[in-house]
Amino acid sequence: MRLYAGFDLHSSNTYLGIVDEDGKRVFKKKLSNDREVILNTLAPYKDSMAGIVVESTYNWYWLVDILTEEGYKVHLANTTKIQKYSGLKYADDQHDAFWLAEMLRLGILPEGYIYPKEDRPIRDLLRKRSHLVRLRTSLILSLQNILSRNNGIKLKANAVKALTIDHVTPYLAANEDLALAGKVSKESIDFFTLQIKSLESVVEERIELREPYSKLLTEPGIGKILGLTIMLETSPINRFADVGNFVSYCRKVSTAWISNEKQKGKGNRKCGNKYLAWAFSEAAELARRFDKDARAYYNRKVQKTNRMVAHNALAHLSGSARLPVILIKPKARKTIIHFLGHRGTLSSFVKR
């Protein structure tokens, strides 16, 4: 008899529910998040286990890894697509675990992508770099505000980040308290800058852009770090059914709900990959600064709308119209996206 299991995963424990092929509940138990406890509990059912569902929470890596290593067929549940019956009055961990197993049994489980274990550490290292960049930016903005309030000047971010020359101290030296605030801020910024450079060096040594992602470096606004971020966050591009799915995953589509030409609300604008959203926004900003075609496109949008809309339009363009190209294989139903398959230049898109 075929069995189906569901894990309702939490930070310190998980609830296991097992059903048979007829939907009958076979086993249920709350388990601690311990490798041996979980594997020993599953062992009597291993030969009959057709599949195991793990809830896609923030801490799913370890559980999926140990189950896969033991030879179980593991499915990652896409929690954003799972809907409970709206009239349900009561639900708990037991109900959720059995519902995961039941969806797998019925073949209606919305599944998420299980990112390859071997690439996760280097991807998370780039995510840590992004975290440090955000922290440094908050310190830079704070220091710029201090200078603006007390000296009436706007010191550029590159001047604040400079490691060889201290541009900050001379402006705040007249007051002891302000000088201390500037000193602490500048030292913290320099510390983060050195840590960011250290992470970048390690990442560039350990991984190279794979084909076809190496073509990213030919695009304005995209350097090696951004290219690696896009490659590692995207993983195989053919896991997306079409361009729209990929762009939505990058958070570069509108979430407005329109009815009778009026906005009636918004969808989940945070659904997707925030790191890809950042990467394409960063690429758009750099392209605007250093590429004349991108800058011309941006300026035309600004005249018609505003700066934020223009920036998002350029980021959307770099994330969708320029990068993925749809190729329909004769014997395939679905469209397969090939990253950077287009041979033209950015201007062939921005001049539309």
pLDDT-derived band at 328, boundaries 50, 70, 90: very low
Residue 12: what pLDDT? 92
Residue 329: what pLDDT? 33
How far the first Cα of the chain sits from its last, in Å, is: 59
Q: Does residue 27 share a domain with residue 134?
A: no
Residue 65: what pLDDT? 96
Give residue 184's domain range.
Answer: 118-206
Average pLDDT, the chain: 85
Q: Does residue 105 share a domain with residue 134?
A: no
Domain end point (choices 64, 85, 114): 114
Q: Does residue 122 share a domain with residue 110?
A: no
Q: Does residue 333 share a domain with residue 218?
A: yes
Q: Does residue 15 share a domain with residue 84?
A: yes
Count of CB atoms within 10 A of residue 103's CB? Answer: 19
Torsion of CA 38, 39, 42, 46, to 10 degrees: 160
Q: What is the mean predicted confidence (pLDDT) over 263-280? A: 84
Q: Does residue 224 share a domain with residue 201?
A: no
Q: Does residue 83 share a domain with residue 9?
A: yes
Please write the tens of the pLDDT for every residue from 213-251: 787 787 788 889 998 998 999 888 888 877 778 888 888
Residue 90: what pLDDT? 80
Q: Does residue 125 share a domain with residue 100?
A: no
User: 0.85 cut: is pTM over it?
Assistant: no
Q: Does residue 146 share a domain with residue 39?
A: no
| Count of structural domains, the chain | 3
Q: Does residue 126 share a domain with residue 101?
A: no
Domain end point (choices 114, 139, 165): 114
Q: Does residue 325 share a domain with residue 233?
A: yes
